Structures are given as C-alpha cells and as structure tokens.
C-alpha cells in the first residue's frame, strides 16, 4: 500500500475505561483479556492495540457487535474520547498532541460526524442544523445559509428548511444529519452506525445516497456498522473488532473468502454469498478466452449463474475493468464459491 | 447511671457564655461593617424606591394597560387578559391599588435579582460537580431554615426597611431558579452535546447555542417558582418594614380583622395566579418545536 494514500494512521491505540487505567494498561499489554481485566482491576477494556491505516478517499468500514469497541474507536479519531495510550496520525500530525484550540480547529475543518440517533438540535430548524458547523466558525449568515441550502437540496430535502427536526421522519432526520456533516466540507466523514436506526428500505435508500455522494465527493469515510450486508455494500475495506481487538482488516471479498477466525465466520455465515462474492474471488487465473460468455471481474456469482444457466458446460471468461482477460469460471467453481468455507482460519490475512 | 437518663449537656453557664460570644461577635461585626454594607446596598435602595414610586405615581389606566399588554405578550390568551383586567379592577375598587403596586414593585425587583444571580450560579453548578456539591447544601439550608431565623441577622446588619426585606425575599425565592437552571442544563441530551463537540463548538457556543435554549423550559419553570415564592414571602417581609399587601395582612392578624386580612390575602393570591398563568403559557410557547413534533 502506498503510504501517500494513507490519510489516517492509528498506531497501537489502547483505551481502558475506569480508575487506575495506567496499571491496567500494563496488564493488557501483557496479554490480559477483557473479562479477566474487569475481574482483576475493575477496568473495562475499550480498545486493545488497534492498528489501522485509513486510505484517502475510501470508505473504511469498522464492524463488530455491540460492545466490541467500534463506537469507542471512531470517537478517538476526533477525540471525543481520549485514549489511554497510542497515537493517531492525520497527515503525519498526531491528533493527540493538539491543544484544545487546535483540536477545535481540527474538528471544524477536517472532520465531521453523523450519529446513530441523529443528534440533531431540536430547537433549530433544518436550515440552522445543516449550517451549524459553519455558523460556529463565525461565518456570515448569508454565506452559511447559502451553503446549507445547497446541501439540503443535495440530500433531497428541498422545501423543508424551516421545519424542526421533530417534524421529520427518521430517514429525513438522518438526511439532515448527513447534510450537516457534509456542509463543513470536511475531508473526513465519521459515520457512527448512521443508518442503523432506520428501517430496511430507508436504510438501503440512504446507503445509495451515500454511495452516490461518494462517487462525486471522494471523502474519506469511516463507517461504523454491525450489519454485514451494509458493510459489504458500501465498504472499500472492512475492519472487524471483537472485545476491543482488531480481528481482521481487509478487502470485503477477502473477509468472505477467508474469514480470520470463528468470530468472523459467524458474522458472515448468514449472508447470501451468491449476491456478494465477485467473479475475481473464485476465478481460475488465465489469460486465454474460454468458450462461454465474457463478464467483468466484479460481477457477483448470482448474475454469473444467470448467464451460465443457459450453457452450463461452457466456462465464462472473466475480464478486468480495462477489458483484459484475467480468468475463467466453470460451473463447479461457482458451486464451490457459494458453499460456506469448511476449514476456518486457514488463510489469515491482516 | 445519671448520664443514661440525663443527656450529658453543656452546663448552663457555659451555654450562656457561648450564646453571648456569638451574639457579641455578630454585634461587633455589624457595628464595624454595618455602615459599609448599608452603603453597598444604597444604590439598590434608591432603585427600589424609584421603582415603587414609578408604579404608584403612574396613572392607573396606564398601569393596567401595560399589565394587560404584558399578559397578552406572555400568554397570547384572551381569557387570561380578560381575567387580569377584571382582577385589577376589583383590587382597585376595594382600595388596595397602592399596596398592590408596592408589592408588584418589590416582587419584580426580587425576581430580577434572583434571575441575575441564580442563572449564572446554576450554570456554574452544571459545569462543575464540585461547585454543585458545594452549593446544594446551601440551597437546602436556604429552603428549610425558618424565614424568621435569617431575618434576625439581616435586621441586625441592615435594620428595618426595604433592602433587608428584599434580601429576605431573595434568600427564600432564589433556590428554585438555581436548582432548575442546573437541572435543565444537565438534562440536555448528551448526544446533542456530542454533536456540537464534534463540529468544534467551544464552551460558550455550546452553552448559549445548545444548552441554554434546550434548558429554557426548565429554567422558566424555575422563574415561575421563584416568583411564586417571592409572593409567599410578602407577609413575612412586611414584618421588617416592606410596604405592600403584606402589611394590612399583618395588621389583620394582630387585630383579628377578618375582612381586611381576607381582601389583602386574596389580592396576593390573584397576583400569584396571574403571574403563574402568564409565565407558564410563555414557558409552553418557548417549546413550540417540541409540541409540533411528530413523535
């Protein structure tokens, strides 16, 4: 990975909640787990030696069950929570060394956040909510309301400027939340289970809005979720947390094909593999054309099945986005790919 | 076994000595500093006298019109405005106009003082747990100590008059506004504050842009309570020389004048009801954004 593409680097980050966190830190560094620590020192292990590189302009998903530390991790990035030890580099500046004034500047200019429970200001109108990040920078009202207006329009809430959040539905409220985060033009967008509180249809709609915006804006997005389907849909990279430790951090396809351990395979066991695994993950590499149809390497198995069902005996040709042939898939590969992997933890990637 | 049946108390002479020492110490204190403290409150006294004169000397139709206007602005309710009009006409008709104006003047000044001191105190308490831990017991004492007890040192220091009366009213009436300001700010949704933090709001931007507006309904409940308690103190304050509706009540108690006591007592009740309804309606209107909400 080219280090120039890395925007945020999290190094050896530890967070321990509770009194005496310094002595507890030594215990954790010597390999003590979450339950044991709680029993021994009455401290809660939030994050355990997290190392994460977040690429510029990509969507980094952080996944885990509740209590796994994902919300704690994202709050370290803008220092809503202070770590016990470790460093967080943003463009080679350690965020943890910022003075409180610099931190405020950093939050105003570089990062904005979307919250699970929306966290809109109930006493402010939609327009004032969206413009909030700008208004507190003492930008003139004309200027911020114009920008806010633009983003309200962009998320499809035209005409709702004078409404209060309480008058809007959940999905609309989160659009306001998204617009509020985008309005500051911050390079980094932190999304803390942003769509988890929405019902499935609205959630899917919001995911599409986000992907649509991302194709245009190329923000660096850190997206927290507990929903694997969501992670696979929007993530360029997925990190999985368990009890405060990073279990796996890799390409989404890699997670499905090679889950690092039992915990990860538990996560992926209920997904519809045919709908998420792409051709490139199961193809046999070759550069010669096969007898069947030609498909792109990011096509999912379900669609390939559709094509192959017309001529099951003919293997399909796989080509990359530039039209170069990279492999072939036979029916037997397809079936093998849809099957859950038997041997777990054989091919751990980090 | 004597100690078992009789409490091992201080000897009488020691106790007398102890009380004497405290009394003398405070007398000394008030002799040395009384003058200075009185001078310190001089501007307040001047203001109080001027304010009361203003109420009494302004022609009654002007006063009634202003009160009705304020009642309308506060409540936006015809019913309350009409009720206010009838109440004040009755008060005037029964010859209690001047006393009512005096009471109104001192209540307004006391409320203003309580707000000016109480809200910043409440904010300080909400900001810091140690400040809260220090102030809460003081508020507890202020609310539970019999008013007559703190009248003694106040009168020893400042004598009889408007200012000691005003101070007595404020001591009694300030706790609710302090408590409810603190509570209101502390009850503001943590998620919303986190959002303000994440956008880089500083302490003052959070306080005035998020916490205070969201705490306003609670703070206003505190203002309402403060006014009610100030009105309740009117009779006691009249014992140390505050003019107004309390004085005739006091006279009625000592001479058993039923009608006089009832009339002035009811006038205080009427004032209380008007203040209460108007401020409550105003408080409700401030949370319009909540009531229009869908869920």
Least confident of A21-35, A231-245, B140-154: A21-35
Please answer yes or no on whether B295 and A104 come within 8 Å at the CB atom: no
**Residue B124 included in any domain:** yes
As given in the structure block, the two tokens for residue B155 are 């009168």
Which residue has 């009366």 as its token pair? B165
**Residue B32 included in any domain:** no
Q: Looking at CA atoms only, how far is residue A120 from chain B in angstroms?
A: 6
Report yes or no: B158 and B38 within 8 Å, Cβ to Cβ: yes
B197 neighbourhood in chain A, CB within 8 Å: 80, 107
pLDDT at B110: 94
**Among all residues of chain B, which has the CA nearest to that of A107?**
B200
Q: Is B207 on the interface with A (CB under 8 A)?
A: no
User: Burial, A52: exposed, middle or buried (Cβ in 10 Å; 0-12, 13-18, 19+)?
Assistant: buried
B201 neighbourhood in chain A, CB within 8 Å: 104, 136
**Residue B74 included in any domain:** yes
* A330-346: pLDDT as tens digits: 888 888 888 776 544 44
**Residue B7 included in any domain:** no
Q: Looking at CA atoms only, how far is residue B165 from chain A in angstroms?
A: 39
Please answer yes or no on whether A111 and B289 come within 8 Å at the CB atom: no
Q: Looking at CA atoms only, how far is residue A125 from chain B in angstroms?
A: 9
Mean pLDDT of A309-316: 85
B189 neighbourhood in chain A, CB within 8 Å: 119
β-sheet bridge partners, residue A238: A61, A250
Mean pLDDT of A294-323: 87
Domain extent, residue B74, equals 42-286
As given in the structure block, the two tokens for residue B91 are 């008060």
Mean pLDDT of A109-132: 94
pLDDT at B133: 96
| DSSP letter assigned to residue A110 | T
B192 neighbourhood in chain A, CB within 8 Å: 119-122
Question: What is the average pLDDT value for chain A, to the nearest integer?
Answer: 88
B210 neighbourhood in chain A, CB within 8 Å: 121
Q: Give SS3 for B222.
A: helix
pLDDT at A345: 45
Report yes or no: A259 and A344 within 8 Å, Cβ to Cβ: yes
Report yes or no: B142 and B170 within 8 Å, Cβ to Cβ: no
**Residue B9 included in any domain:** no
Please answer yes or no on whether A166 and B295 come within 8 Å at the CB atom: yes
What is the total residue count of chain B?
295
pLDDT at A279: 87
Q: Looking at CA atoms only, how far is residue B201 from chain A in angstroms?
A: 6
* A195-204: pLDDT as tens digits: 998 999 999 9
Enumerate chain A positions whose Cβ falls within 8 A of a Cβ in B: 78, 80, 103-109, 111-113, 115, 117, 119-123, 132-133, 136-137, 164, 166-169, 180, 184, 190
A80 neighbourhood in chain B, CB within 8 Å: 194, 197-198
Least confident of A231-235, A271-275, B257-261: A271-275
Give the pLDDT means over successive 10-residue stretches in chain B (295 positions): 85 92 91 88 92 93 94 92 95 93 93 95 95 96 88 86 90 95 95 94 94 92 93 89 90 92 93 91 79 46
Helix extents (H) in chain A: 21-29, 34-41, 70-77, 100-109, 126-130, 132-135, 141-154, 170-182, 200-217, 228-234, 252-257, 262-268, 273-276, 279-282, 301-308, 331-338
**Residue B93 included in any domain:** yes
Domain segments of chain A as ranges: 274-338
Task: Say whether domain A274-338 belongs to CATH 3.90.1280.20.
Answer: yes
* A49-107: pLDDT as tens digits: 999 999 999 999 999 888 888 999 999 999 999 999 999 999 888 999 999 999 999 99
Q: Output the domain CATH number for residue B123.
A: 1.10.3720.10
B199 neighbourhood in chain A, CB within 8 Å: 107-108, 112-113, 132-133, 136, 180, 184
B293 neighbourhood in chain A, CB within 8 Å: 122, 164, 166-167
pLDDT at B293: 45
**Residue B26 included in any domain:** no
Domain count for chain B: 1
Please answer yes or no on whether A115 and B202 come within 8 Å at the CB atom: no
**Residue B173 included in any domain:** yes
Please answer yes or no on whether B200 and A107 come within 8 Å at the CB atom: yes
**Among all residues of chain B, which has the CA nearest to that of A169?**
B294
**Position A350 confidence tier, pLDDT thresholds 50, 70, 90:** very low
C-alpha to C-alpha distance for B278 and B283, rounded to whole angstroms = 9
pLDDT at B182: 96
Which of A78, A109, A167 is opposite residue B198, by nearest beta carbon? A78
Please answer yes or no on whether B295 and A184 come within 8 Å at the CB atom: no
């Amino acid at each position: 990975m080219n280090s120039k593409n890395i925007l945020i680097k999290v190094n050896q980050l530890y967070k321990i909640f509770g009194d005496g966190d310094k002595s507890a830190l030594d215990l954790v560094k010597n390999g003590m787990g979450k339950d044991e620590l709680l029993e021994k020192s009455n401290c809660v292990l939030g994050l355990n030696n997290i190392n994460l590189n977040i690429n510029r302009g990509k969507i980094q998903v952080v996944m885990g069950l509740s209590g796994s530390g994902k919300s704690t991790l994202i709050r370290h990035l803008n220092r809503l929570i202070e770590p016990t030890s470790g460093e967080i580099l943003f463009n080679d500046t350690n965020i943890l060394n910022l003075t409180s004034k610099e931190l405020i500047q950093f939050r105003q200019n570089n990062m904005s956040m979307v919250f699970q429970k929306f966290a809109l200001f109930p006493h402010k109108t939609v327009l004032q909510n969206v413009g909030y990040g700008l208004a507190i920078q003492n930008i003139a009202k004309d200027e911020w309301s114009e920008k806010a207006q633009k983003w309200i329009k962009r998320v499809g809430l035209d005409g709702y400027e004078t409404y209060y959040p309480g008058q809007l539905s959940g999905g609309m409220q989160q659009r306001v939340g998204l617009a509020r985060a985008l309005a500051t033009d911050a390079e980094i967008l932190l999304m803390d289970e942003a769509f988890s509180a929405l019902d499935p249809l609205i959630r899917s709609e919001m995911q599409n809005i986000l992907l649509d915006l991302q194709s245009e804006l190329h923000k660096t997005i850190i997206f927290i979720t507990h929903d694997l389907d969501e992670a696979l849909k929007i993530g360029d990279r997925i990190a999985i947390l368990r009890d405060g430790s990073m279990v796996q951090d890799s390409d989404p396809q890699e997670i499905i094909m090679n889950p690092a351990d039992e915990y990860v395979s538990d996560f992926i066991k209920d997904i519809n593999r045919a709908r998420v695994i792409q051709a490139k993950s199961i193809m046999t590499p070759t550069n010669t054309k096969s007898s069947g149809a030609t498909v792109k390497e990011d096509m999912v198995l379900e669609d390939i099945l559709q094509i192959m069902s017309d001529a099951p005996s003919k293997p399909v040709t796989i080509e990359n986005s530039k039209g170069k042939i990279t492999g072939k898939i036979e029916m037997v590969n397809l079936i093998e790919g849809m099957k859950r992997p038997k041997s777990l933890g054989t091919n751990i990637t980090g | 076994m004597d100690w078992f049946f009789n409490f091992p108390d201080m000897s009488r002479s020691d106790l007398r000595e102890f009380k004497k020492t405290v009394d003398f110490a405070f007398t000394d204190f008030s002799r040395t500093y009384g003058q200075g403290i009185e001078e310190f409150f001089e501007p307040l006294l001047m203001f109080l006298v001027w304010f009361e004169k203003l109420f009494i000397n302004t022609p009654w139709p002007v006063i009634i019109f202003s009160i009705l206007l304020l009642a309308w602005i506060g409540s936006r309710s015809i019913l309350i405005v009409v009720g206010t009009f009838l109440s004040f006409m009755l008060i005037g008709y029964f010859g209690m106009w001047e006393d009512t104006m005096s009471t109104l003047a001192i209540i307004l000044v006391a409320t203003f003082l309580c707000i000016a001191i109480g809200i910043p105190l409440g904010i300080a308490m909400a900001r810091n747990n140690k400040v809260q831990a220090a102030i809460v017991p003081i508020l507890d004492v202020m609310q539970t100590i019999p008013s007559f007890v703190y009248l003694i040192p106040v009168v020893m220091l400042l004598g009889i008059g408007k200012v000691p009366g005003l101070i007595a009213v404020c001591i009694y009436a300030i706790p609710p506004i302090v408590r409810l300001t603190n509570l209101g700010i502390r009850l503001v949704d943590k998620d919303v504050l986190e959002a303000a933090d994440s956008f880089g709001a500083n302490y003052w931007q959070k306080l005035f842009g998020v916490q205070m507006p969201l705490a306003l309904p609670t703070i206003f409940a505190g203002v309402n309570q403060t006014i009610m308690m100030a009105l309740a103190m009117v009779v006691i304050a009249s014992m140390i020389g505050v003019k107004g509706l309390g004085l005739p009540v006091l006279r009625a108690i000592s001479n058993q004048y039923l009608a006089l006591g009832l009339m002035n007592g009811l006038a205080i009740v009427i004032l209380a009801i008007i203040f209460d309804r108007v401020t409550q309606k105003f408080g409700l209107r401030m949370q319009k954004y909540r009531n229009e909400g869908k869920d």
